[in-house]
Amino acid sequence: MLPISLYIISALIASVLGEPRVIEPPLRVDLQPPPEYQRSSARNVFQSWITMPIDHFDPQNQNTYQMRFMFNEQFFGGDGYPVFILVGGEWDIAPGWLMAGNMFTMAQENRGYQIYTEHRYYGQSLPYTVFTTENLRFLNVDQALADLAYFIKELKKQPRFANSKVILYGGSYAANMVLWFKQRYPHLAVGTVASSGPILGEVDFTGYLEVVHEAFRSEGGEQCVTTIKQGIADTISAMETEEGRRTLESVYRLCRPLDYDNKYDLGYFAGLISWTFSGSVQRARPGTLISICNNFASNVYGVTPMEKVGGYIAISQNMSPNGCWSISFDTLLNVYNATRSNSRAWYYQTCTEYGYYQTAPRSGTAFDQLTWLSVDFYVEVCKRVFDQRFDEAFLDDAVDRVNLIFGGLEPNVNNTINIHGAIDPWHALGVYDRDLKEGSPTITVPRASHCFDMQGWLTTDTIQMTNAQQTARRLVASWLSE
């Protein structure tokens, strides 16, 4: 509770002082617990720590760190009943995920023990407290999967779990993790549920903004994307005259004029626009994009197309009336150049494993015009905040390595439920149009976005969403009864 209220207070102070605000690309996902959980049931969730090798692959390295996990045994049936592990990704673990959501329901239905593990280098699970590039070398998925294997091995030493079957559930990057874990350590888990996993690494990820465009089109209609496209086109034309520039700066609420000769500053400005649209889509519930498009059609955000885009950004980013955006590449670099943060750790993983860079498409979308959002832009961050050697060729090799060892879009994995949302931009890097194999079905839910099957049932859910959640629960129950 304390960090949240501190956050609110500092946000309030910032809004009073009109302090500049910084925006980050939606590269890192911060999975928020299901909103319907009851805070009062937090008494069922406990936190603990396990001593973990820092390097699972070098027996000569005996260093360890403390990995955090949470658990809830309220439904546990006793010896041999199943264990459900929610696998943490690039965020802090939080008790709410063991108090509601689809895995919670599975545990309830199968008298299971619930655990939530924290990923190394995130939250409080810190092999090092200072994230120099040197200290980040043990941050990779191979080590994180080995952490999970080691965790399950230690867990099974307790007699009550010796005969328990283990189910893993993960969303976003953690969906990759559970799928890859089942592939690499099939003897340690009977099955996994992978929600919205972008299992193919890709440096130049144009598909992301293509899905964002398509989501606004399919939900809000052709007129909506036409307005957005016009607003962006007008913004770019405005950059050509002094008068246009002043209009742009006021419409977008910039703290000071942009450096119109700096392609990286312009990349960050292009990000302010595209990342806001991306955020709306990635978090969309049925109806969210329709109401945004209704606001574009009426004059809620502004009158001209450019004003509409600028107003939409201010409103959806909760910009205070006298707040402003600080748009310079250095501001962005500072976010990732922190001594230690989840954002820095995840950016490191994008530079050394996945890419995932949400670049301007080249297929006629509203976002094609934002050409400053290039691979060069994102890779420059890798070079400047980690190591000059992290250039484009380095990234291509790094991503090839991950795709080679895990199989890219052709993983060979049993007992995995592979769930995607049709308007989730991340599905473009997953398998969404065919089953992984017999016994590992794919369920792609229309109109759903990122990881929403992980939540509990909501009145706004579509029938297809409810069906997907039920199908996952039925299949998991069948693995447990085999």
> Residue 274: how many CA atoms within 13 Å on its side-chain side?
32
Per-residue interface string for the shown chain with ligand NAG, residues 169-198, x marking contact by CB under 6 A? -----------------x------------
Q: Minimum distance between the CB of residue 390 and ligand NAG, rounded to whole angstroms?
A: 13
Q: Minimum distance between the CB of residue 384 and ligand NAG, rounded to whole angstroms?
A: 4
| Helical residues (DSSP H) of 221-360, grouped into ranges | 222-238, 242-251, 263-282, 288-297, 305-316, 329-336, 342-349
Question: Is residue 384 part of the contact set for ligand NAG (CB under 6 A)?
Answer: yes
Q: Minimum distance between the CB of residue 332 and ligand NAG, rounded to whole angstroms?
A: 10
């910009």: which residue's tokens? Answer: 319
Closer to ligand NAG by Cβ: residue 155 or 385: 385
Candidate residues 333, 335, 375, 458; the one interacting with ligand NAG per rule CB under 6 A: 333
Could you tell me the end-to-end alpha-carbon distance of the chain, in angstroms, rounded to an integer?
Answer: 42
Question: Is residue 436 part of the contact set for ligand NAG (CB under 6 A)?
Answer: no
CA–CA separation, 155 and 467 (whole Å): 33
Candidate residues 385, 419, 423, 454; the one interacting with ligand NAG per rule CB under 6 A: 385
CB within 8 Å of 384: residues ≥ 6 apart: 333, 337
Per-residue interface string for the shown chain with ligand NAG, residues 15-54, x marking contact by CB under 6 A? ----------------------------------------
Per-residue interface string for the shown chain with ligand NAG, residues 292-331, x marking contact by CB under 6 A? ----------------------------------------
Q: Minimum distance between the CB of residue 180 and ligand NAG, rounded to whole angstroms?
A: 12
Question: Is residue 158 part of the contact set for ligand NAG (CB under 6 A)?
Answer: no
CA–CA separation, 275 and 369 (whole Å): 14
Binding residues for ligand NAG, how many (CB under 6 A)?
A: 7
Closer to ligand NAG by Cβ: residue 240 or 410: 410
Closest to 120 (Cα-Cα) out of 385, 342, 401, 402: 342
83 φ, ψ (degrees, to nearest 5): -115, 130
């080590």: which residue's tokens? Answer: 143
Q: Between residue 224 and residue 253, which ones bind ligand NAG under the rule CB under 6 A?
A: none
Candidate residues 337, 341, 462, 464; the one interacting with ligand NAG per rule CB under 6 A: 337
Contact between 259 and 330 (Cβ < 8 Å): no
Which residues pair with residue 443 across a beta bridge?
Answer: 419
Q: Minimum distance between the CB of residue 406 and ligand NAG, rounded to whole angstroms?
A: 13
Q: Minimum distance between the CB of residue 440 and ligand NAG, rounded to whole angstroms?
A: 9
Q: Pairing mode, if any, of strands 355-357 and 416-421? A: unpaired
CA–CA separation, 285 and 448 (whole Å): 7
Q: Minimum distance between the CB of residue 267 and ligand NAG, rounded to whole angstroms?
A: 15
Please state, in angstroms and as integers, the Cα–Cα distance from residue 334 to each residue in 43, 68, 287, 337, 397, following that order: 38, 28, 36, 5, 26
Q: Between residue 400 and residue 419, which ones bind ligand NAG under the rule CB under 6 A?
A: 412, 414
Q: Which residues bind ligand NAG (CB under 6 A)?
A: 186, 333, 337, 384-385, 412, 414
